[in-house]
Structures are given as structure tokens and as C-alpha cells.
């Protein structure tokens, strides 16, 4: 077999993360990106990165051919390379192991200079990072965020499956608003106007009459103009909806779900999370719970002027966050501050059976008991100044046996901000969409 044929038949034999567990003398073919090169004259260290980690490839003058040395000196950082070599224990390397190469193949040479430093040695500003997101996402610290997201999704699915939920997928092109009219993206749907879904709200409610317990993990769209560290125009939400439960029941599910996520992550990534957080422990349950009215009273006592009935601003939430800390619920919101489908309290219609879950000042989730009687729902739509006609199809379902039900929506990326300890939602979304960013 010629060298060329031999090289064409190379297959990646191991992930970098597996190399440390191999016995000395093991033959490996590793493939990845040239993360960094350290040239000490007689010895060169190539740091080879793949999605699983970094391995040191040590090249000693005299131990390899001159042509290999020449080839190595031409390889630019971020080039894709394949290294065929032998594993050897080594004090010199972080992993405790290095690879001594026999052959190196350049699969794709990268251009130089790089748009940003993958090693993180030269910090890049936020815009540069977002503009060259493909490169930013190669940084091990950023890869970890999305490994974390993958595990969060797994943990949530595992938890809800265990509780008897089924995962559903609902339409994202809709005929009417679900969360209020102002934040709608219009789309031309052939000869009609349609809207991108702001949430799966109406469909998930309908589906409780078929499956009782449903969840959806989906992408939603809101034409919010505001530019904040917590809002995007396209975001993922985890939604549940359950028949024969009220808001207190689904708050319990949310609390347990968050704890399960922590337990799952602790089992999988304790060391990494400890490096980020100092320690990594699940939050204590039950989460502290205050009513909206109590929150207003507390804010006033702290000298903050807030009108009963208004939404709570971020500065106000920061004050509450100082008091209640990590995870806490604010319940029983004013009916006028919540959407039309939330059920007012019997006996005091000014407030409704609703909640928000907060982490310090960040709203992670919101939910509530729903109105399930047709007349009441129609009244509520009218009271909110919405057009009953555009909810005709939805209302029809309520004529035929809608069960009492409740649910919540949890912003996946907001939870990930907390778990990854990042201050801007854009950092925990692969390719964020905001008011000014439509690319990459
Ligand atoms: P709400 O509008 O509060 O409730 O949204 C639910 C959760 O989704 C997240 N979220 C966002 N994340 C990023 N960017 C945005 N623009 C954005 N908007 C919302 C937040 C928020 O708590 N249908 C109800 C839920 C329910 O009652 O079941 C709803 O959509 O974390």
C-alpha cells in the first residue's frame, strides 16, 4: 500500500478525551484542530483540540523525519490535522500523557491571522466574538456551555417522561397572537397574513384534552424591540401543560424539575461546574414564595416607588433578588398584568392564579392555572381588548370538554445563563437573533 493510499484510509481511532486512559505504547490516529503550537527549538508541542478536549503532541528533533518537521512548521493554527502516533505517559503534559507522532497529515489548512483567539489568551470584545461566532464556539469554555445545554435538555426530558408527560410538537405559523399583539412577527402565508408563534400556549392547552400531560421544547419568536441581556427575538422555551392540576401543583413540578437538572449536571460535570461556581449544589426546596402584593410592600419598604398592578422592572427585581436569592416564586399577580388565559382567583378577580420563577433578578419561567370554561375565556379575551373572532377556532375546543389545567413556560437560555454563570443571553445561544443581529 502506498503512503498516499495509507493516508487516505486513515480513520480517527480515538477522541482526545480517551487518550489519557490508554496504556503506554497504544497506537492512535487523532483528528482535530491545531489549537496552539509551542516551539522550543529542539522540541515542538502541538496542542491538538477536538470536541472532547486537548492532547499534547510532542515532536522531538531527531525522533522524526526532517520532512515531518518541515511540514509542521507550515501548519497554521486552526488547521485541521490528523496525527498518527503512539501514546506515552508524560509529566510535561496537563493530561499526564502525550502523543509521539509518526506521521501528520494536514486535512485542511486554515487562513491566518485568525479572526479571534481560540486559546482565549487575547480576549476579544463581544461584537468580534458574535461576528465570528463559528470561531468563538470552538473555544473549550464555549463548547462546554452547549454540552451543558445538551445535558439540561436530557435531564428535563428524563424528568418529565418519568412523570408521564408526552413530548409534542405544535405549529409555529399561527393565525393569531397568543401572548399579546405587539410582539408579533408577521409572515406572508400565501395570500394571507400569518404570525410566528410567540409560545405554544393555545395548542398545549388544547392537547391536555387529548393527552392530559404534555410538554414541548420549541423555538419561539417575539418582535421585542428592547435590547437587554435577557431578551432575544428567537428563543427556546420548555413548556408543560397538565390537566386536573392548578398553579400550585405545576409550581411543584417546576421546582422538582430544576432540582433534577442540578442533580443530573452534578453527576455529569461536577468538576467543571465547581470551577465555574466555586461549588455546585442543587437549590433547597421548597423555593421561597411571596405574593405579588408582598413583593410590592417589600419594595416600598425599601424606598422603591412601585404602583400595584405594574410589571416588576429589573431594578425592582434586583432588590427582591437580594432578599430571596437564588430561586424564588412570585405568585398571585394582578390579573391585568397577565395574559387572557390565566385564571382569576375565585373571590378576588383582581389577582390571578399565576406565578413567575425568578433567579435573583432574572425571570426564568412563568405559568398559572388556566381559564377552562368557554364563557369565561371569551369574556377574558374581550376584557383584554383582543378580537374574539381571531380566537374562534380556539374557543370552539372549549365547547367540548376542556379539563381544568395549568402549566408553565421556562426560558431554556435564561436557565442556562444561570447554570453557566454568563451575564448575557447571547453567550448561551449558538447564533443569537436580536434587534440588530440577523447574521451569522
Ligand atoms: P412568558 O412570556 O413569561 O410566558 O415566557 C416564558 C419564559 O420564556 C422566556 N422568554 C424569553 N427568553 C428570551 N428572550 C425572550 N424574548 C423571551 N420571552 C420569554 C422567559 C419566560 O419566563 N405562555 C406563557 C407560559 C405559560 O404560562 O405556560 C409564556 O409564554 O424565561
* pLDDT 10s digits, 100-136: 999 999 999 999 999 999 998 888 999 999 999 999 9
Measured by CA distance, the residue closest to atom 28 of ligand 1 is 408
Q: How confident is the model at residue 94 (pLDDT cuts 50, 70, 90)?
A: confident
Whether the predicted pLDDT of 346 surpasses 60 = yes
Cβ neighbour number for residue 438 with a 10 Å cutoff: 9
Whether the predicted pLDDT of 1 surpasses 50 = no
Domains, the chain: 3-108 (2.40.50.140), 140-428 (3.30.930.10)
Give the torsion through C-alpha atoms of 146, 151, 155, 156, to 10 deg.
20
Whether the predicted pLDDT of 7 surpasses 80 = no
Q: Select from 365, 254, 356, 347 the least CA-distant residue to 311.
A: 356
Encode pLDDT of 271-327 as tens digits.
999 999 999 999 999 999 999 999 999 999 999 999 999 999 999 999 999 999 899
Encode pLDDT of 376-424 as tens digits.
999 999 999 999 998 999 999 999 999 999 999 999 999 999 999 999 9
Task: Give the separation between CA 235 and CA 225, rounded to whole angstroms.
Answer: 14
Encode pLDDT of 231-284 as tens digits.
999 999 999 999 999 999 999 999 999 999 999 999 999 999 999 999 999 999
Tell whether ligand 1 has an atom less than 6 A from the beta carbon of residue 365. yes
- Ligand 1 pocket, mutate which of 168, 409, 426, 433 (most atoms under 8 A from CB): 409
- Ligand 1 pocket, mutate which of 414, 418, 419 (most atoms under 8 A from CB): 414
Tell me, rounded to whole angstroms, the distance of Cα 225 from its chain centroid. Answer: 21
| Confidence at residue 5, expressed as pLDDT on a 0 to 100 scale | 52
| Confidence at residue 4, expressed as pLDDT on a 0 to 100 scale | 52
User: pTM score > 0.85 for this model?
Assistant: yes
Tell whether ligand 1 has an atom less than 6 A from the beta carbon of residue 139. no
Measured by CA distance, the residue closest to atom 22 of ligand 1 is 365
Mean pLDDT computed over every residue of the chain: 95
Measured by CA distance, the residue closest to atom 14 of ligand 1 is 231
Amino acid at each position: 500500500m502506498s503512503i498516499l493510499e495509507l493516508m487516505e484510509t486513515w480513520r480517527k481511532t480515538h477522541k482526545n478525551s480517551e487518550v489519557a486512559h490508554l496504556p503506554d505504547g497504544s497506537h492512535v490516529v487523532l483528528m482535530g484542530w491545531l489549537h496552539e503550537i509551542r516551539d522550543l527549538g529542539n522540541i515542538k508541542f502541538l496542542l491538538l483540540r477536538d470536541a472532547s478536549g486537548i492532547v499534547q503532541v510532542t515532536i522531538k528533533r531527531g525522533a522524526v523525519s526532517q520532512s515531518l518537521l518541515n511540514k509542521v512548521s507550515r501548519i497554521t493554527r486552526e488547521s485541521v490535522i490528523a496525527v498518527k502516533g503512539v501514546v506515552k505517559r508524560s509529566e510535561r503534559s496537563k493530561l499526564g500523557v502525550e502523543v509521539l507522532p509518526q506521521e501528520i497529515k494536514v486535512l485542511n489548512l486554515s487562513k491566518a491571522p485568525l479572526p479571534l483567539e481560540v486559546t482565549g489568551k487575547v480576549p476579544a470584545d463581544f461584537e468580534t466574538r458574535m461576528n465570528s461566532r463559528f470561531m468563538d464556539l470552538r473555544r473549550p469554555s464555549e463548547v462546554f456551555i452547549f454540552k451543558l445545554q445538551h445535558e439540561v435538555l436530557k435531564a428535563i426530558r428524563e424528568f418529565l417522561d418519568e412523570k408521564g408527560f408526552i413530548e409534542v410538537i405544535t405549529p409555529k405559523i399561527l393565525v393569531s397572537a397568543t401572548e399579546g399583539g405587539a410582539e408579533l412577527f408577521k409572515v406572508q402565508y400565501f395570500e394571507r397574513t400569518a404570525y410566528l408563534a410567540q409560545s405554544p400556549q393555545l395548542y398545549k392547552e388544547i392537547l391536555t384534552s387529548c393527552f392530559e400531560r404534555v410538554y414541548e421544547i420549541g423555538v419561539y419568536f417575539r418582535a421585542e424591540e428592547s435590547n437587554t441581556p435577557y431578551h432575544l427575538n428567537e428563543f427556546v422555551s420548555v413548556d408543560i401543560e397538565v390537566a386536573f392540576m392548578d398553579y400550585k401543583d405545576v409550581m411543584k413540578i417546576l421546582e422538582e424539575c430544576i432540582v433534577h437538572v442540578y442533580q443530573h449536571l452534578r453527576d455529569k460535570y461536577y468538576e467543571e461546574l465547581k470551577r465555574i461556581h466555586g461549588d455546585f449544589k442543587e437549590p433547597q426546596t421548597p423555593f421561597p414564595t411571596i405574593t405579588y402584593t408582598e413583593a410590592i410592600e417589600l419594595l416600598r419598604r425599601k424606598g422603591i416607588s412601585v404602583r400595584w398592578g405594574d410589571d416588576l422592572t429589573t431594578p425592582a427585581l434586583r432588590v427582591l433578588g437580594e432578599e430571596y436569592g437564588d430561586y424564588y416564586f412570585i405568585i398571585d399577580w394582578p390579573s391585568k398584568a397577565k395574559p387572557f388565559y390565566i385564571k382569576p382567583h375565585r373571590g378576588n378577580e383582581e389577582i390571578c392564579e399565576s406565578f413567575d420563577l425568578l433567579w435573583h433578578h432574572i425571570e426564568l419561567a412563568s405559568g398559572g392555572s388556566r381559564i377552562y370554561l368557554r364563557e369565561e375565556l371569551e369574556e377574558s379575551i374581550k376584557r383584554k381588548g383582543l378580537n374574539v373572532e381571531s380566537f374562534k377556532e380556539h374557543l370552539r375546543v372549549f365547547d367540548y370538554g376542556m379539563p381544568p389545567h395549568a402549566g408553565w413556560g421556562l426560558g431554556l437560555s435564561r436557565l442556562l445563563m444561570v447554570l453557566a454563570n454568563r451575564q448575557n443571553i447571547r453567550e448561551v445561544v449558538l447564533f443569537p437573533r436580536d434587534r440588530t443581529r440577523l447574521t451569522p
